[in-house]
Amino acid sequence: MAVSGRAQDIALVDAFLARPKILSGAPPEFGPKPRGKEASWEAAWPVANIDGIVEAGSVRVRYAPASAEPFSILLVYREQCVYRLDHVEEDVRHSNPYWGRALEAPAMVCGPHVHTWALNRDHVLRQDSWEIPCRLPLQQQIRRFDQAFPWFADQVNLALRPDERNFDLPHELV
């Protein structure tokens, strides 16, 4: 791993997250995304800076209605996930990596959770592969997509216009 190259990538992500952002264009359509045994769908919405210039980021929403993980919301920068919210059933348990304890992450997380950049940044810097494995439980009051999407946007410095707050998971998929 070229440490200086990875350090530059990390600095670019830090700057991307710090800048105010908006979504670009109309809400995206969900399309099929093969994943595992259950049907899965994904929508990708480009992210722009406050001047409306699309850079190298997007918000991706994954939806698998028959899964124990019905939806995830990801912030992707240069094709790398830098922040992720996973809505999983309450009884789904995930272990955090041992190094997360030094960051006050619980050893085990049950149910909906979030993989923050702040929690995983140093790990990404030290690794050859780009993974954000450490997670925190999601606040109890955030249990539906219509609650999670605006909360996620706030966390990643993404301003939603009023009509974008109505973006939701599809009710029917053909």
Average pLDDT over residues 2-19: 89
pLDDT grade for 67, boundaries at 50, 70 and 90:
confident
**Side chain identity at 66, as an amino acid letter?**
A
In a domain, residue 136? The reply is yes
Backbone angles phi, psi at 148, to 5 degrees: -70, -40
In a domain, residue 49? The reply is yes
Average confidence score pLDDT of the chain:
92
Residue 99, domain extent: 3-160
In a domain, residue 167? The reply is no
Structural domain total, the chain: 1
In a domain, residue 168? The reply is no
* C-alpha span between 22 and 17 (Å, rounded): 12
In a domain, residue 61? The reply is yes
Q: Which residue has the higher pLDDT, 2 or 88?
A: 88
* C-alpha span between 138 and 78 (Å, rounded): 26
Burial 18-49, CB ≥16 within 10 A → b, else e: eeebbbbeeebebeeeeeeeeebbbbbbebee
